[in-house]
Structures are given as structure tokens and as C-alpha cells.
Amino acid sequence: MGQKIHPQLFRLGISSKWQSRWFDTRRYGKWLVEDYRIRALAFDKFKKAAIAEVVIERFANATQVDIYTARPGVIIGRGGSGVEAFKKEVAQLTKGTVEINIHEVRNPETNAAIIANNIAEQIERRMPFRRIVRQAVDAAKQARVQGIRIVVSGRLNGAEIARTEMASFGKVPLHTIKQPIHYAFRTAFTTYGTIGIKVWVLTSEKEEEAEIAAETI
């Protein structure tokens, strides 16, 4: 039943970290809704930025939003106009001081969220799904991941009957909690229906900290 549990939720505090880093008993519900809206705004506003994750930290009178992306220039914009516009929109949501940090993902071919995004984008452009998935697996293999699994479901290539296809390499031990497994799910919207993309990636423990750059743009 390992596949029925979100791999990152299963490993929180052990080999994966929280994406919302705050706690408040009185405003918990309010802040939870704000976090959802901030993430939805980021993913909607910067659809082409290949965002891996949005981490939100809260302090006494300020909110810090860290965006990890493979294409920081898309978010920053010309002269920083993009990130400033996003900062103003987040400030309207939170009614407080906001700090936005943009981080570049050094190895996008090993990040499950970015892989899933890229596959969804190419499927929406009517590229052959088998070639897309195989290229993603080969790129991850060259990046020396320990294992990767990609599952694509729906009316693949416009087929009348929906089906599920999978491609994998190496090992993806879903029951081993100490193993740093990244998981992401994305939906591709096509003229013949939606196609679901699930990606599991097992990076090495040494590469875990290096996967997302500490460098702030």
C-alpha cells in the first residue's frame, strides 16, 4: 500500500522537509488558506518558470516566500519587475510585510516536480508521450539518480480507451522512510481529455542537500 501514501508526507521530519514552516494556534486556519492562495498564485502567474516548490515561512510581522525554480529569469523579469509585481500581490493577500527569495534549481533533471511539469507541457503540445517519458528517464539516469519512476495515465495519444503506462530506472523503495524520495503529480490538459503524470525520484543522500541550490538570486 506504499503507493497510496504521499511519499513526501510519509517522510516529513526524516528525509523530507515541511513546505510551510510556521505554527500558530489562533490563526492556523487563516494562514493555511493564505499559504494555499500564495502557492496557487505563484504557479498560475509563472506557468513557464518550471517551479519546483514554494516554501513559506512566517515571522512575527512578516512572511517569507522562497520559490525554487529551474528558470529564475522568468520570475524575476526585466529589471526585477516580475518579482516586484508578485510581491505586491502577496502583500495584498497577507496584509503585511513580504519578502520574496528566488532560488535556482541546479539539477532540474533530478527534481520530480520539474520533470512532471516538463512532461505535461510537452504532452499539451502533442508530442509523443513515449519519447517524452523516455527522454526524462534518460536525463535522470545521466544525472546519476538512484532511481526514477514515471506513470502516465489517460487517453494517451488521443486513444479511445484510457490506459496507464510506466517507465522506470533503478530502485524506488517507497517503504524505506530514510530514503529521500521526491514525488510530484501534474495534469496535462489536452483536447481529448486530461492526462495525469506521476513522478517518483530517488536521489542519493549526499545529493539531497545539493539538489536545490542554496544560492539566492
For residue 70, the domain's CATH number is 3.30.300.20
Q: Are residues 129 and 84 in the same domain?
A: no
pLDDT digits over 148-197, tens only? Answer: 999 999 999 889 999 999 999 999 988 888 888 889 999 999 999 999 99
Q: Are residues 116 and 203 in the same domain?
A: yes
For the chain, how many structural domains are there in total? 2
Rounded to whole angstroms, the Cα distance separating 200 from 112 reads 6
Q: Are residues 97 and 117 in the same domain?
A: no
Rounded to whole angstroms, the Cα distance separating 150 from 110 reads 12
Q: Are residues 127 and 203 in the same domain?
A: yes
- pLDDT for residue 209 is more than 80: no
Crossing angle of the two packed helices 81-94 and 28-45, in degrees rounded to 10: 160
Q: Are residues 71 and 143 in the same domain?
A: no
Q: Are residues 90 and 118 in the same domain?
A: no
- pLDDT for residue 212 is more than 70: no
Burial 161-185 (b: 16+ CB within 10 A, else e): eeeeeebebeebebeeeebbbbbbe
- pLDDT for residue 199 is more than 90: yes
User: Residue 192 carries which DSSP code?
Assistant: T
Measured CA angle at 42 (ends 40, 44), to 5 deg: 65
Q: Domain residues for 95?
A: 13-105
Tell me whether residue 1 is in a domain.
no
In what helix (H) or strand (E) does residue 51 lie, and over which residues does it extend? strand 51-58
Which region among 7-16, 108-117, 161-170, 180-189 has the lowest average model confidence (pLDDT)?
A: 7-16
Mean pLDDT computed over 67-85: 91
Q: Which amino acid is at 140?
A: A
Tell me whether residue 133 is in a domain.
yes
Domain boundary among 69, 89, 105: 105
Tell me whether residue 99 is in a domain.
yes
Tell me whether residue 2 is in a domain.
no
The pTM for the full model equals 0.84
